[in-house]
């Protein structure tokens, strides 16, 4: 799908080996469905990751990610050129997830349980500091506001402004949440771990 897209970019659109997100959006708005397909290929894993980390249920995360893409497709014309597509799609996905969580809370009256992770129990061994499963479990055990910030930090790197834009929070709050989340992660990853500010 993406190969056909790169073969013949229309006039007025920069032809590079790897088109930018803005190019792909312009092509998609011009009616090239394969351009949107390439965008989906680029970000679907990250979007699903964000949905799963927020909702913590495979089926609902899948539905939320799909809903986010449908909303993005319908609102593609409103995307501001020059803005970061990743931030935009993450924002849409995060709002969809929040709506779904709010609905679920309304119907069930409480938050869903954390998904079971064998490494999350107190009997878990903590020898391997870099163990991905252990870190994943520690992130999953974080309170929601810290878990989302850590997930976006994971997805977007140290671009705090982008994280703040997605969550619609002040920059200072994002930094505070991130600081607290990291402290909690350190505490979960090892009782002997000591924080050294770099």
The H-assigned helical ranges of 8-32 are 21-29
Write out the residues near another protein by the rule CB under 8 A.
33-34, 36-37, 40-41, 44-46, 48-49, 52-53, 58, 62, 65-66, 69-70, 73, 129-130, 132, 135-136, 150, 153-155, 157, 182, 185-186, 189-190, 193-198
CB 179, min distance to another protein, A: 10
CB nearer to another protein: give 78 or 108.
Answer: 78
CB nearer to another protein: give 62 or 84.
Answer: 62
CB nearer to another protein: give 110 or 130.
Answer: 130
Give dist(CA 57, CA 6) in Å, integer. Answer: 36
- Which single residue is written with the structure tokens 């499963």? 133
CB 157, min distance to another protein, A: 8
CB 106, min distance to another protein, A: 25
Give dist(CA 72, CA 60) in Å, integer. Answer: 18
Give dist(CA 53, CA 124) in Å, integer. Answer: 21
Can you spell out the DSSP letters for 70-82?
Answer: HHHHHTGGGPPTT
Task: Evaluate whether 69 touches 41 at the Cβ level (below 8 Å).
Answer: no
CB nearer to another protein: give 60 or 110.
Answer: 60
């Amino acid at each position: 799908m993406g190969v056909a897209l790169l073969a013949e970019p229309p006039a007025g659109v920069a032809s590079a080996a790897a088109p930018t997100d803005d190019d792909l959006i312009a092509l998609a708005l011009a009616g090239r469905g394969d351009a949107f397909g390439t965008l989906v290929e680029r970000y679907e894993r990250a979007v699903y990751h964000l949905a799963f980390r927020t909702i913590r249920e495979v089926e609902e995360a899948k539905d939320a990610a799909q809903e986010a893409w449908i909303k993005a497709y319908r609102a593609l014309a409103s995307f501001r050129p020059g803005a970061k597509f990743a931030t935009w799609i993450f924002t849409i996905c995060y709002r969809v997830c929040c709506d779904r969580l709010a609905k679920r809370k309304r119907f069930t009256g409480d938050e869903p349980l954390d998904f079971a992770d064998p490494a999350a129990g107190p009997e878990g061994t903590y020898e391997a500091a870099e163990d991905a499963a252990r870190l994943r479990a520690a992130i999953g055990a974080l309170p929601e506001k810290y878990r989302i910030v850590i997930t976006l930090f994971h997805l977007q790197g140290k671009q705090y402004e982008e994280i703040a834009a997605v969550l619609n929070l002040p920059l200072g709050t994002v930094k505070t949440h991130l600081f607290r989340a990291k402290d909690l992660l350190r505490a979960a990853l090892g009782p002997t771990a000591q924080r050294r500010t770099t």
